[in-house]
Structure 1
């Protein structure tokens, strides 16, 4: 590396470091609160980020916060590939795989149609529907990174993260009671919980509260939904390319680098040669990157912007969640 390149890298690091450090500090505080009070860490990161949003105004922290909200987010999405192996998916057979594909596609299509009917941009339906159908806050962040630029995209992303985090917590408490009310078998209960609850942590909590068999099947079904993130990101990238690039910027790639990283890590993880300690490290690093990124997104957002969204987006997300639960129960009832 030449002296000029080293000097440029050092200069760039000095510019970004204050914002990155601030984002990491907010994420650390959110993690502490989450571990001590049991609420979703993403929700704490958002709220704490919103409380110090003045740091993202023109100043020394702004470039680093922008970098964290964009690039650290994408790195966290790529590392999600460490959660998945082909062996886990094959262990459940073909029916749950087909079921997951159907419920993800149908939920997203219904969400887009509902969003347009309610007067929203169709991309908001894709964003909220993808978060509901795939993996909650992680999917919302991944899709937001793939979708074309829009003046209201960041506000829509933050609202979606808040919504799916809150609804996922409610589902973790409510859905095991629904599974018992419908007298589902341990396997079917796991498929129901893994196929409906938004975030992985809540799926694990709800599944193992009903027993080890339910917890195991719920976790694997949930990871199958996480695997659907790749084709949905590809669709979002195609939409971005179809809409063209902003003036002065490059055309978006057909498959973003973080999606390629997701596939490569999932493939490597499927070989069986990755030690458990490395898998755990990858999962922890992914979670940490996403929490840091959502902290930065929170700092970039004005609270009054979120307060102005009205009741319709809330109804849309509650409706998407209820539709997904009803769809999975119907598919289990009809022996899909």
Structure 2
């Protein structure tokens, strides 16, 4: 527990650091609206982290110490609140509109991607378990948002989160350009626009990447891709609960004693989704909720980026990239088989 003196010291530091992170997040909002960056699939969270990393690696170490308490607040409490309110982007009606096929495909891909990540990353490549889980979650569910939500459960280090996000940016961007190109050459007799949209939404990593890829296809493919992706986002909540249960049974030290409590923000996520499904929220209020949630997530990502040093990423080596490549190929192969059946 912090002493009263320590809390008094932290409070003025937070008054300085948190507004700074908010300002950088607003800068990220501006850049995320630039069409060129949108076409590259660089979403708000990715840009926020890049801005944070740039500032963090340019500022002196003494300033890092001044910002430390504010960084901790943004990466923990603010992030959990933001993940909970992410549920206002989803509704049960969206799932029903697309049907059972997209839901089943998403569940299968999440389960197989996480299983493959753990087997290859931990068993074969001997990587740190936290890094493996973060890379797996980012590929399986919803990119940077899933990595951020998962990081608090596995108690990941800043450089581990940054490595996982970097992998998502690299292979998700490649896929974002590759999918529309493949769409032009696949005979349309062997698949519908809806099927290709489901394939895109079920296998690309970031929501922004799915939107960018969908816009390069037909409106039918884009709609199916986005809704399928949102279903993956919805599955973030049960995934985190299952992860807590799995971590309880598979401690890093081989001991099974003790429990890891399910995070409260997961239940908050579910409650927000149900409220969005059952209540009629005025459009302007709903847009304001989503905007504030984006701001909170971007602020958390900026704080994370500030705390990451480039030298830490270099120490990771080639193994994370290799794992991310295998998971990307697996997603494309299995996603194609399941979507075009």
**With structure 1 as the length reference, what TM-score do the two structures score?**
0.87
2:50 aligned with 1:43: no
Question: Measured at CA, do residues 308 and 63 of structure 1 come closer, stay the same or move farther in structure 2, by a change above 3 Å?
Answer: same
The counterpart of 2:180, out of the listed 176, 179, 191, is 176
Contact 2:127 2:319 survives alignment (8 Å): no
Contact 1:56 1:300 survives alignment (8 Å): no
CA–CA separation in structure 1 for the residues paired with 2:13 and 2:129 = 37
What are the Cα deviations for residues 257-297 of structure 1, in whole angstroms up to 9, with x where unaligned?
21111011000011141222233222222222121111111
The counterpart of 2:28, out of the listed 4, 27, 30, is 30
Question: Measured at CA, do residues 323 and 297 of structure 1 come closer, stay the same or move farther in structure 2, by a change above 3 Å?
Answer: same
CA–CA separation in structure 1 for the residues paired with 2:294 and 2:175 = 21
Contact 1:112 1:124 survives alignment (8 Å): no
Unaligned runs of at least 5 residues, structure 1 = 1-7, 246-250
CA–CA separation in structure 2 for the residues paired with 1:178 and 1:312 = 28
Residue 3 of structure 2 aligns with which residue? Answer: none
Question: What pairs with 1:149-168 in structure 2 (closer than 5 Å)?
Answer: 149=155, 153-168=157-172
Cα drift, residue 56 of structure 1: 6.9
Cα drift, residue 256 of structure 1: 1.0
What are the Cα deviations for residues 207-241 of structure 1, in whole angstroms up to 9, with x where unaligned?
13212211111111011100110111112323454
Residue 93 of structure 1 aligns with which residue? Answer: 99
Contact 1:190 1:217 survives alignment (8 Å): yes
Question: Measured at CA, do residues 159 and 332 of structure 1 come closer, stay the same or move farther in structure 2, by a change above 3 Å?
Answer: same
Residue 301 of structure 1 aligns with which residue? Answer: 308
197-206 or 127-136, which moves further after superposition? Answer: 197-206
Residue 5 of structure 1 aligns with which residue? Answer: none
Contact 1:135 1:198 survives alignment (8 Å): yes
2:296 aligned with 1:257: no
Contact 1:190 1:213 survives alignment (8 Å): yes
Question: What pairs with 1:60-79 in structure 2 (closer than 5 Å)?
Answer: 60-79=66-85
Residue 255 of structure 2 aligns with which residue? Answer: none
Question: Measured at CA, do residues 28 and 177 of structure 1 come closer, stay the same or move farther in structure 2, by a change above 3 Å?
Answer: same
2:306 aligned with 1:275: no
Unaligned runs of at least 5 residues, structure 2 = 1-5, 253-257
Question: What pairs with 1:214-253 in structure 2 (closer than 5 Å)?
Answer: 214-242=221-249
The counterpart of 2:333, out of the listed 326, 330, 335, is 326
Question: What pairs with 1:278-289 in structure 2 (closer than 5 Å)?
Answer: 278-289=285-296
Question: Measured at CA, do residues 283 and 253 of structure 1 come closer, stay the same or move farther in structure 2, by a change above 3 Å?
Answer: farther
CA RMSD after TM alignment: 2.5
66-75 or 271-280, which moves further after superposition? Answer: 271-280
Contact 1:65 1:296 survives alignment (8 Å): yes
2:115 aligned with 1:112: no
